[in-house]
Chain A
Amino acid sequence: MPPEPAQSFAVTLRVNGQSFETEIDARTTLLDALRDRLHLTGTKKGCALGQCGACTVLLDGKRVVSCLMLAAMAEGREVTTIEGLARGDELHPVQAAFVEHDAFQCGYCTPGQIMSAVGAIREGRAGSDDEIREQLSGNLCRCGAYANIVAAVRDAATREA
């Protein structure tokens, strides 16, 4: 039987290969659970309305915006955040490409840009500059680092191909 509807309850979240049990209010978004409960603050809170992409994470390997999802809805699924990309001190190829291409200024949108790029490359949707622009259209950069972001994603996609 499914559980009775409740305003608060315990959930177990799988994030970056680890399990976390935490007590949450039903209203808690996945984004707020990551930042405020699990203290994984790499995932950024921008608009909280799905418009900016700063909170992009992978859910079962696919890109989602963690602000438009209740934490309770992520139970039983595998979440990957920006903290889960590097292996020790070795950056993920997309992270390394962002550094190499100077693909950010203030850096606030960067975790979301990188998670979105990782997803797009995995999905095989980063084959040209036009496709990269379209695929990252849900990730806004108000500093306007777009030209270098496209270059970084193209470079990383080419290396991983």
Chain B
Amino acid sequence: MQPFTYAPVADAAGAAARALQGASFIAGGTDMLQLLQEGVAQPAELADINRLPLQGITEDADGAIRIGALTRLQDAADDARLREAFPVVTEALDLTASPMVRHMATVGGNLLQRTRCLYFRDVSTPCNKRLPGSGCSALDGENRHNAILGGSEHCIAVQPSDLPVALISVDAEVQIQHADGAERWVPVEDFHRLPGDTPQIETVLRQGDVILGLRIPAHARGRRSHYVKVRDRASFSWALASAAVALRLDEGGRVTEARIAVGGVATKPWRLPRVEQELLGVRLDRDRARLAAVWAAEGAVTRSGNAFKQPLLQRTVERAIIEAGELA
């Protein structure tokens, strides 16, 4: 680890001020410590934001649910209101990391988890995300875990978090405060950026921003929602493919609303508007689910090691639709 200075900060304004001076934040620390240990992150200063009053889950009068940025993943997973209203979010949290990591990691930090691309984490190799302009080792390297959607000639690294995938299916938004005191809301769907030719820029956050929390709007209540995660081992592993599905059905079993997002396959949490469109207005059955899910891989670009993800993604989405619609 490179030397750095450390100090806790007391409030969001103090945190933002340190960030403007170039400090990096540490919250749960579960990704930051790995990045520090491997020399990927070399901050001059770490500002510990754990004392900010951003913990806990509350319900608005209209039924929206707010999750403070420093809420631990396990505490969010254990919240009965969240589980009842938005099961897809709870299921994604249940399948995230290990119990120890869930007790430490925060929901705000989870949105900012860095890619698990082998080359990003290995400072002895070229990586455009870690060292812009150095090249992408994954394009023709060990790319079994890399993206088939949203990549560019500069980067095919997967954003590995489960939570934002689920949050997209329930129209969640991120609350952000800037150092100047201004607050803004960004849909989770628009929070992460495509790599393009600047893969080192991963989100819409600017220097001096602090994530205050998340809000899941009341209008997303009542959808049948479900999260499916496929991985190399039964537990404690990143997704090879995952799918969050939220559907509203009318009394006749016809789909009136559909939100579908996928993880483990794309450079950012990835919404599938074409699959949603295929489901709208149809009476859901297993054939419809399969036909719609074919569109999940629309635009996919596969590499030497990750072509398996194309059918895997389609079948993961199909299974998530079937299970969400209780057609199994």
Contacts and interface: CB of A to CB of B under 8 A. Distances in A.
Interface in A59-73: 59, 62-65, 67-70, 72-73
Contacts of A4: 7
B235 A50 contact: no
Contacts of B5: 5-7, 26
B161 interface: no
B8 A62 contact: no
Nearest to A3: B7
Give the bracket for the number of chain A residues in contact with chain B: 35 or more
Contacts of A93: none
Interface residues of B, number: 37
B33 A69 contact: yes
Contacts of B236: 137-138
A29 to B, nearest CB: 7
Contacts of B304: none
Interface in A34-85: 48-50, 53, 56, 59, 62-65, 67-70, 72-73
B235 A134 contact: yes
B26 A73 contact: yes
14 contacts: A2-B9, A5-B6, A5-B47, A49-B34, A49-B38, A56-B100, A63-B99, A64-B103, A65-B30, A65-B100, A70-B46, A70-B48, A116-B99, A134-B234
Interface in A130-160: 133-135, 137-139
Nearest to A55: B100
Contacts of A134: 234-235
Interface in B88-136: 97-101, 103-104
A6 B6 contact: yes
A114 interface: no
A136 to B, nearest CB: 8
A70 B33 contact: yes
Given A6-B7, A68-B33, A68-B104, 14 more contacts: A1-B10, A2-B7, A5-B5, A5-B45, A5-B47, A27-B1, A49-B38, A62-B74, A68-B29, A73-B26, A73-B48, A119-B99, A138-B100, A138-B101
B299 interface: no
Interface in B1-51: 1, 3-10, 14, 18, 23, 26, 29-30, 33-34, 36-38, 45-48, 50-51
A127 B36 CA distance: 37
A50 B48 contact: no
A120 interface: yes
Nearest to A48: B37
A11 to B, nearest CB: 10
Contact of A53 (B14, B34, B98, B104): B98
A26 B37 contact: no
Contacts of B18: 5
A7 B4 contact: yes
Contacts of A6: 5-7
User: Which 9 A-B pairs have CB atoms at the shortest separation, nearest pair first?
Assistant: A138-B98, A137-B235, A5-B5, A26-B6, A5-B7, A68-B33, A137-B236, A27-B1, A62-B103
Contacts of B98: 53, 65, 137-139
Given A7-B5, A53-B100, A138-B236, A68 B30 contact: yes
A70 B235 contact: no
B109 to A, nearest CB: 11
B69 to A, nearest CB: 16
B100 A63 contact: yes
B23 to A, nearest CB: 8
B30 A50 contact: yes
Given A26-B46, A138-B100, A70 B9 contact: no
